[in-house]
Amino acid sequence: MPNKNISDAILSGDTADIYFSRTQTILGKEGLDPIVVMEIFPGRDGILCGINEVIDLLRQAAPAAQVDALDEGAAMSAKEVVLRLRARYSAFGLYETALLGMLAHTSGWATAARAIVDAAAPIPVTSFGARHVHPAVAARLEYAAVVGGCVTGATPAGARLAGKPPSGTIPHAMVLIFGDTVKATEAFDQWMPREIDRIALVDTFHDEAEEAVRVAQAMGDRLWGIRLDTPSERGRVTPDLVKEVRARLDQAGFPKVKIIVSGGVDLERVQLFRAVGAPVDAYGVGSAISAAPPIDFTGDLKEIDGKPIAKRGRIPGVTNNPRLKRIALK
Amino acid sequence: MPNKNISDAILSGDTADIYFSRTQTILGKEGLDPIVVMEIFPGRDGILCGINEVIDLLRQAAPAAQVDALDEGAAMSAKEVVLRLRARYSAFGLYETALLGMLAHTSGWATAARAIVDAAAPIPVTSFGARHVHPAVAARLEYAAVVGGCVTGATPAGARLAGKPPSGTIPHAMVLIFGDTVKATEAFDQWMPREIDRIALVDTFHDEAEEAVRVAQAMGDRLWGIRLDTPSERGRVTPDLVKEVRARLDQAGFPKVKIIVSGGVDLERVQLFRAVGAPVDAYGVGSAISAAPPIDFTGDLKEIDGKPIAKRGRIPGVTNNPRLKRIALK
Amino acid sequence: MPNKNISDAILSGDTADIYFSRTQTILGKEGLDPIVVMEIFPGRDGILCGINEVIDLLRQAAPAAQVDALDEGAAMSAKEVVLRLRARYSAFGLYETALLGMLAHTSGWATAARAIVDAAAPIPVTSFGARHVHPAVAARLEYAAVVGGCVTGATPAGARLAGKPPSGTIPHAMVLIFGDTVKATEAFDQWMPREIDRIALVDTFHDEAEEAVRVAQAMGDRLWGIRLDTPSERGRVTPDLVKEVRARLDQAGFPKVKIIVSGGVDLERVQLFRAVGAPVDAYGVGSAISAAPPIDFTGDLKEIDGKPIAKRGRIPGVTNNPRLKRIALK
Amino acid sequence: MPNKNISDAILSGDTADIYFSRTQTILGKEGLDPIVVMEIFPGRDGILCGINEVIDLLRQAAPAAQVDALDEGAAMSAKEVVLRLRARYSAFGLYETALLGMLAHTSGWATAARAIVDAAAPIPVTSFGARHVHPAVAARLEYAAVVGGCVTGATPAGARLAGKPPSGTIPHAMVLIFGDTVKATEAFDQWMPREIDRIALVDTFHDEAEEAVRVAQAMGDRLWGIRLDTPSERGRVTPDLVKEVRARLDQAGFPKVKIIVSGGVDLERVQLFRAVGAPVDAYGVGSAISAAPPIDFTGDLKEIDGKPIAKRGRIPGVTNNPRLKRIALK
Amino acid sequence: MPNKNISDAILSGDTADIYFSRTQTILGKEGLDPIVVMEIFPGRDGILCGINEVIDLLRQAAPAAQVDALDEGAAMSAKEVVLRLRARYSAFGLYETALLGMLAHTSGWATAARAIVDAAAPIPVTSFGARHVHPAVAARLEYAAVVGGCVTGATPAGARLAGKPPSGTIPHAMVLIFGDTVKATEAFDQWMPREIDRIALVDTFHDEAEEAVRVAQAMGDRLWGIRLDTPSERGRVTPDLVKEVRARLDQAGFPKVKIIVSGGVDLERVQLFRAVGAPVDAYGVGSAISAAPPIDFTGDLKEIDGKPIAKRGRIPGVTNNPRLKRIALK
Amino acid sequence: MPNKNISDAILSGDTADIYFSRTQTILGKEGLDPIVVMEIFPGRDGILCGINEVIDLLRQAAPAAQVDALDEGAAMSAKEVVLRLRARYSAFGLYETALLGMLAHTSGWATAARAIVDAAAPIPVTSFGARHVHPAVAARLEYAAVVGGCVTGATPAGARLAGKPPSGTIPHAMVLIFGDTVKATEAFDQWMPREIDRIALVDTFHDEAEEAVRVAQAMGDRLWGIRLDTPSERGRVTPDLVKEVRARLDQAGFPKVKIIVSGGVDLERVQLFRAVGAPVDAYGVGSAISAAPPIDFTGDLKEIDGKPIAKRGRIPGVTNNPRLKRIALK
């Protein structure tokens, strides 16, 4: 059954490089429609993402194709074939741009997420980067972050795509409108369902350590954690701030209140926090994942009507890769 | 009239950070709905893009808001306010993620495009990067590249969004299927409308200089140009290759045939070609634009019910920026 | 009249390299006591300091010597002769270690101070570094800092030596004992003489911006300024913090309250604050001056009983330096 | 019994930051004198020095205080508590500047000395740096160098403080006055007590290797060693020079004459000499120790009248450090 | 029997530094002709070359000398004595320039060759650098390259000196004159003796991979290998090009045809080819060997008429080196 | 008239890459002998040297060729044609290796010499590097150094080739044999013709400054200069040593005695001496010239029987270079 995520614009070739639709026209006029093998490979090492969406597209658009692929989330090497298609060229030629784009964009995100998740482990990482990408791909970003190892994302659409509950605390805007961190947190507590963790954002009005203790005293056992999001104008969240807040919460009798760190968290920062033993309980990561560059994927014709072929610079014929698995499209 | 580009997922908040919809719920329960001023600013210098789409969203979702903004394509400085919204918070709070994402993603692309376009000028640059981004934003990428100065993009959807005709030559796949560069080019010439430039891709089977002359001799005056796309396995397109192909075409009597360069073209490469005087007639640029990182935008509440306010680290109250223009939403 | 600053330990040679006193003994036994010329020069460019103390020492210990010297505070070049002594060797040979040490240590401090003072100008700089040096030279450090351009130091002894009133605000310890920044500042205001500026330290308990406004509201016109001394654990004093505190003070009606910045202020930091236009009114500088390395000075015999001489590596005879002035010792 | 090294200027607070004496005044007026705990810690790793002098000061000025401290010469880590004071604040508040300065200045020297001593071991290192510091702290420098591992210093006062005999050879000035290295060395030999080693300085007039042999031939068994101090104008003392002088002395029948190297010896230089096997018997080190930057120490109030407290950025309450030992002041 | 390679210009001293012949004149006039020991050592580590030619020179010019030397091709350390001469000074003084020059120039080449040969092993390396040196030393260069481990050189004279058959393929000029790679290769095959390997140069007119297959198909089993020499204008020979040509030859049925790589091959390039597993069968190396800097050799008199001596900076007397072997000159 | 410098080995092709002689054989068998144009160009900027020798070779071997060339000593740019030959290929094909080698080796030397000569100007530079190259090219090295701007070389053969008198002082060996610098210099003075400058080498036995004065006092007006050649073991010749020797000579009454500096003099060193104003009167430069890498020259066939041609990577046909001059071979 075709996946609803594949839009008409993709299926119609409206988002394809136009030379592919022109090629389809010309080949049709010339009566050329060979059975070809296309192999797709990445330009650098990474985590494969988007392959499931690609298969959904092929199910819908080229159900007769023979498809071999690596698994979603698999580690892949530079130039390793991750997808092999065997079909009449007319069945999928128009979708090369879309196939590559799905893989490129989301594998870039998944790969960046994996690096940070590995550095932070076993401390969980949540994707907070929806605000850095166009809303048309925000859910895809969060899905890719989860493929890369994040525990979830922050949008309903993204979390749903990844099969996780979305994660959310309290934005600065809400604290500002309530005019007080404790009041905002108490209102959150009053109106939100029980199953949502109460996480207070503590850097809006006053000193973070001071607010953390204040909100803990007001909320008691209902407080799950506090979030530190100190802006760069105030020196960002430092490892020492985390240590101090932890110590002050402990001294005030709140050893169970967790500390979530967000705001400019990247790989280097996570490594620093780990190196100095900052007692972080969870990370929220934004642009270190969402601004990761796509991984360039290339699709090469390697066989035409059974004959090995390749453009200059590439080796003709099917490339051996025992890791590939046959995918049933129908 | 609302723009059809704003999808239901955006309008429903499905792609918004969930804490914004929770905030709307809580504020509604508490009966809080102040008139607020939100200011949005970028984290680094760049070219503003996406503001028109943001305005479309506001027209549809928050028509009563007072909006001041910079123009699409304007140069902007780090921390300069590019958009100021004055409205009841309930009117737009849910769209903060979408507003920021539209600006962040497309301004990143437009900014990268501008740098390359400036370096190449007056040689025209076309965006060839649709294959590196998810097809759901491929058109937005090409639109942003044109905002940044590219002459057009390669997909129908992107070019239409930018108000340009799409650009396309011949893909390697078509040459491989025809089995010969000249045959493929002649077929293109036979079946394509007259107004489309005939541009032969000459690195598929044989030496580029050899093929360039062969195809020129076969096509005569009908050939507009040739495209060099030598892969890195063969040393990429070098400035000397361009000079040699130019010389061999000239010696063979084809001084009017243009040379288009693609394949790994980035800012540094364009500067090199310029420095050594390589006779390039047009560039096709992919990941140097499409893989540009988003520009982080931030939205700050600066006034609530007429009272200046700000979170720690920011200066309370409306920021003066005489470059902003009032936008009529209705 | 001998200066009381020259201690018996110096005059007795107790702090001199012992080979100089042994040399005196041996030359005495041998009946050798030529009239010699010694020239003293620095190993690198800098600001000369300590020459007045050296002259005091010579006045007391070798009043018959002929002395030519540069002025206290003069800029000097590497290897430039800053002091020339002509006397019987027995008159001053024992003091070579002391002469060099006075110049080396204090010229090092004065030179570092000058660099920061020049970078900060016209914003005044005060030396806060007494705590990094042994108390036996704390006053000399502050004197040297003033020679280098600082407006004053923080200790009575140092300021007196430099002919300035000492500068002091409120230490963290006092705020902690009072338990509140406002109370501590009000107590300071109540008990200190009118001529001492009221400067509140605002980073002890709460957010700096918040405390700055609180103390301004409590003190009114009596508050001269506030001091920001945010520790590195909290991201140090950033330029944006200064801008924000300035803005919040202005918005609260206190545009006359000055902002003093201390805590890790060094040359690079001052240059950064200047570059981004942070509205600092005064700097307190510690280890960037107090930890400056001494400037190595060397004393060479260049003439013995009228005959030019020098050790290998140096040029025999008196070096011409028209900048030197004859000093009257008696 | 109070140590005579603590001067009146320190005891009177004349060299203290003036805000401490003002604080004493204000607290006295307000009748505030809590029992407090102050903890002192360094800003970087190093060798602790000056703690004995600090204890002397406390014995004299605050005999009722409870003191826990690391040992003189102990290795210490950044931020490790090296001294904990519990007393009424009035008992020691005035001495914070002095305490910190004693530790900072001398620990800086001891730490630099340790690095060089470790690199040179088992070759002994003597401190020759008195000439780079003010004579008021020359003895403290040499004491610190010995705490750091040097065998002794060069001044009577410094060596006495360190409980070692001072080390001295022959200065260039004496050789120049005698006009001949051999004559100067013979005079030294004639007039100096037997227990002082005869060490000839051999770079004043002639080639070092030539002079070394000449002086050895003149002095015979009475010569303990020669010192190489070649100035930078002549290429400094190179490892090859040491090897050559050793070989020429050996060939001339003086294998027991030792070679002392001075002049610009620093850590990098000692490592070079070691790496190439230069036969050095002793090093004299000047500015590599004497110009070492102080180590910044900080004193934090951590408890007031039994209640844990700390300024922002620090963790309230007493810090656990089992390495601290209780010191009896009376 | 004297070696004919020692030219009259060398024997006459015409190519010697003139101060040596003047010295001979003066010593003769003065009647001075001591028996001296000269030791020769290199300035850096390397492979000794030229020692056999030096011995030939000494056999002819100074047959009475006592000679100890390392072997041709031996690894030598910086400053290690590689040659010791004991003779009347008049017997060899005039030849110091020649001795040093023979060693310096050829040891430089042999040392560079060894580094590349070691990196390439077991893939053979041939010296192709005769064109970078004056023809008067072209044979010496190739001899040195073979001493360094190359399998042979490209000139008859050089290969003869090294005792190897010269290696040669086909120059671009010949392919250009024939106008076709296949024709040129076939002509080579027709006219050259059977024992010469048939190696086609395949980058002159067409794509390398295309030409490689064409020439293999034309020549069949008679083709020993093909040579890739792609110029920098076309991106040099890349590892991927080698892989592709190998694959295309294999697919076309020519797995035995070898691939020779030349053109800018240096140590870094060989390491790259090895790291990525490029299937190279032989390297031709030019300027990476031929442009290697000479190794500076120095000759020191260390003994005169039985007495150890040396100039300043060197250690008098014969240096122990058990690796030296006595050479019989007669 | 043929130049005698062209050896039989060159003329016979014995030093040519063997593929050129094989090519001659094959072309002869095939009856192919087109009139071709070969252009020769360097791989980098530099000073052209060796062109006169090349023309000598062509005069002797290919007198019918049409030759266009730049002048000996001309500045040339990377890839600029410096020599164009038009002749039957059989007339010169065998000499390509020799032509390129003559230009490559000597242009490398001349180019390095020019850089140092320009940096030292107007202080003269002499080539002392014969000992670093094989004696078969020692004269060519010195000739090239003079083409690059040196005033002369040190060997009779080299100086004769360059049309200059050779330059020579006194070697260390001679001083060592005489056992005294003054005696050696006096012997030189006694036995050498009047027209040879008396230059004493002063670093052999004693301190350079000491010896310089001693020899000046002994020689009086007959001393032209002294040479400083301090070895690296003694710190090389430093700028300060030159200044000191100058000062001590002047003070002793010998302001006319010149100072020659040798020993490790390279471009960086000359720039240092200039920057600090060291009073050098002449430089002797060795490996900074003699170890310069050859400049890679390439010979391309650009026309065959009147038809433009080139291998891939080069532009077919004769390259325009108006700087070339027609050379008459007969």
**Residues in B touching C248 (Cβ below 8 Å):** 315-316
| Pick from D240, D241, D248: CB nearest E316 | D248
| Pick from D308, D313, D314: CB nearest A251 | D308
| Pick from C21, C187, C204: CB nearest D26 | C187
| Pick from C313, C314, C317: CB nearest F251 | C317
DSSP-derived pairing of the beta strands F125-127 and F282-285: parallel
How is residue C54 annotated by DSSP?
H
Three-state SS string over chain B comes to CCCCCCCHHHHCCCCCCHHHHHHHHHHHHHCCCCEEEEEEEECCCEECCCHHHHHHHHHHHCCCCEEEECCCCCEECCCCCCEEEEEEHHHHHHHHHHHHHHHHHHHHHHHHHHHHHHHHCCCCEEECCHHHCCHHHHHHHHHHHHHCCCCECCCHHHHHHHCCCCCCCCCHHHHHHHCCHHHHHHHHHHHCCCCCCCEEECCCCCCHHHHHHHHHHHHHHHCCEEEECCCHHHCCCCHHHHHHHHHHHHHCCCCCCEEEECCCCCHHHHHHHHHCCCCCCEEEECHHHHCCCCCCEEEEEEEECCEECCCCCCCCCCCCCCCCEEECCC
pTM over 0.80: yes
Q: Are B209 and F312 in contact (CB < 8 Å)?
A: yes
User: Which residues of chain A, if any, have pLDDT below 50?
Assistant: 1-3
Q: What is the pLDDT of residue B169?
A: 86
**Residues in D touching F244 (Cβ below 8 Å):** 233
pLDDT at D109 over 90: yes
Question: Could you give the angle at the alpha carbon of D38 between the alpha carbons of D36 and D43, nearest 5°?
Answer: 165
Q: What is the pLDDT of residue B4?
A: 55
Q: Are A191 and B102 in contact (CB < 8 Å)?
A: no
CB count, 10 Å around CB of B230? 22
Interface subset of B 198-237, CB within 8 angstroms of C: none
Nearest CA in chain C to F210: C312
Nearest CA in chain B to F316: B248
**Residues in F touching D207 (Cβ below 8 Å):** 205-207, 210
pLDDT at C3 over 80: no
Q: Are D233 and F210 in contact (CB < 8 Å)?
A: no
Q: What is the pLDDT of residue E4?
A: 55
E118: which residues sit within 8 A by CB, 6+ positions away? E149
Q: Are E313 and D240 in contact (CB < 8 Å)?
A: yes
**Residues in A touching D312 (Cβ below 8 Å):** 207, 209, 244
User: Which residues of chain B, if any, have pLDDT below 50?
Assistant: 1-3
At residue A292, what is the residue type?
A: A
F251 touches chain C (CB under 8 A): yes
F281 touches chain C (CB under 8 A): no
Six-digit token pair at C109? 């401090």
**d(C-alpha D120, C-alpha D274), whole Å:** 7
* Strand ranges (E), chain E: 35-42, 46-47, 66-69, 75-76, 83-88, 125-127, 199-201, 225-228, 258-261, 282-285, 297-304, 307-308, 325-327
Q: What is the pLDDT along chain E (330 residues), one digit of tens a residue?
A: 334 568 888 999 999 999 999 999 999 999 999 999 999 999 999 999 999 999 999 999 999 999 999 999 999 999 999 999 999 999 999 999 999 999 999 999 999 999 999 999 999 999 999 999 999 999 999 999 999 999 999 999 999 999 999 998 899 999 999 999 999 999 999 999 999 999 999 999 999 999 999 999 999 999 999 999 999 999 999 999 999 999 999 999 999 999 999 999 999 999 999 999 999 999 999 999 999 999 999 999 999 999 999 999 999 999 999 999 999 998
Q: Are B317 and C209 in contact (CB < 8 Å)?
A: no
Name the minimum distance, in Å, from the CA of D242 to any CA of chain F: 9
| Pick from A206, A233, A238: CB nearest C241 | A233
Q: Are A315 and E244 in contact (CB < 8 Å)?
A: yes
Partners for B (CB, 8 Å, 3+ pairs)? A, C, E, F
Segment holding D47, helix H or strand E: strand D46-47
Instruction: Give the confidence band of C8 by pLDDT, cuts at 50, 70, 90.
Output: confident
A279: which residues sit within 8 A by CB, 6+ positions away? A242, A243, A246, A259
Helices D96-120, D267-275: crossing angle, 10 deg rounding? 10
Partners for A (CB, 8 Å, 3+ pairs)? B, C, D, E
Closest-CA residue to C48 (of C29, C23, C81, C74): C74
Instruction: Give the confidence band of D3 by pLDDT, cuts at 50, 70, 90.
Output: very low
How is residue F330 annotated by DSSP?
-
ipTM value:
0.96
Nearest CA in chain C to B311: C244
Q: Are B247 and F315 in contact (CB < 8 Å)?
A: yes
| Pick from C313, C316, C317: CB nearest F240 | C313
Q: Do chains E and C touch (3 or more CB pairs under 8 A)?
A: no
Across C149-178, average pLDDT: 96
| Pick from D23, D30, D128: CB nearest C173 | D23
| Pick from D240, D244, D251: CB nearest E308 | D251
Q: Cα-Cα-Cα-Cα dihedral of D47, C98, C79, F256, to 10°?
A: -130
Torsion sign over Cα D166, D167, D169, D174: negative
Residue D148 · residue D167 · CB < 8 Å: no
Closest-CA residue to F20 (of F140, F102, F100): F100
**Residues in A touching D308 (Cβ below 8 Å):** 251
Q: Are E251 and A317 in contact (CB < 8 Å)?
A: yes
Q: What is the pLDDT of residue F8?
A: 87
Q: What is the pLDDT along chain F (330 residues), one digit of tens a residue?
A: 334 568 888 999 999 999 999 999 999 999 999 999 999 999 999 999 999 999 999 999 999 999 999 999 999 999 999 999 999 999 999 999 999 999 999 999 999 999 999 999 999 999 999 999 999 999 999 999 999 999 999 999 999 999 999 998 899 999 999 999 999 999 999 999 999 999 999 999 999 999 999 999 999 999 999 999 999 999 999 999 999 999 999 999 999 999 999 999 999 999 999 999 999 999 999 999 999 999 999 999 999 999 999 999 999 999 999 999 999 998
**Residues in D touching A251 (Cβ below 8 Å):** 308, 316-317
**d(C-alpha C37, C-alpha E103), whole Å:** 54
E287 touches chain F (CB under 8 A): yes
Q: Are F241 and D232 in contact (CB < 8 Å)?
A: no
Q: What is the pLDDT of residue D5?
A: 62
* CB contacts < 8 A (B, E): 41
Q: Are C27 and D174 in contact (CB < 8 Å)?
A: yes
CB count, 10 Å around CB of D320? 7
Q: Are D315 and A244 in contact (CB < 8 Å)?
A: yes
Partners for F (CB, 8 Å, 3+ pairs)? B, C, D, E
**d(C-alpha A4, C-alpha F63), whole Å:** 83
**d(C-alpha E159, C-alpha E152), whole Å:** 6
Instruction: Give the confidence band of C7 by pLDDT, cuts at 50, 70, 90.
Output: confident
E247 touches chain A (CB under 8 A): yes
**d(C-alpha F240, C-alpha F246), whole Å:** 10
Segment holding A70, helix H or strand E: none
Q: What is the pLDDT of residue A2?
A: 39
**Residues in F touching C315 (Cβ below 8 Å):** 243-244, 247-248
Q: Are F315 and B244 in contact (CB < 8 Å)?
A: yes
A57 touches chain D (CB under 8 A): no
A45 touches chain C (CB under 8 A): no
Nearest CA in chain A to B30: A187
Q: Are D316 and A243 in contact (CB < 8 Å)?
A: no
| Pick from F22, F130, F132: CB nearest E296 | F132
Name the minimum distance, in Å, from the CA of E114 to any CA of chain F: 18
Q: Are D315 and A207 in contact (CB < 8 Å)?
A: no
**Residues in E touching F299 (Cβ below 8 Å):** 173
Residue C265 · residue C288 · CB < 8 Å: yes
Q: What is the pLDDT of residue F318?
A: 97
Closest-CA residue to F106 (of F161, F174, F27, F187): F161
DSSP-derived pairing of the beta strands E225-228 and E258-261: parallel
Q: What is the pLDDT of residue A1?
A: 36
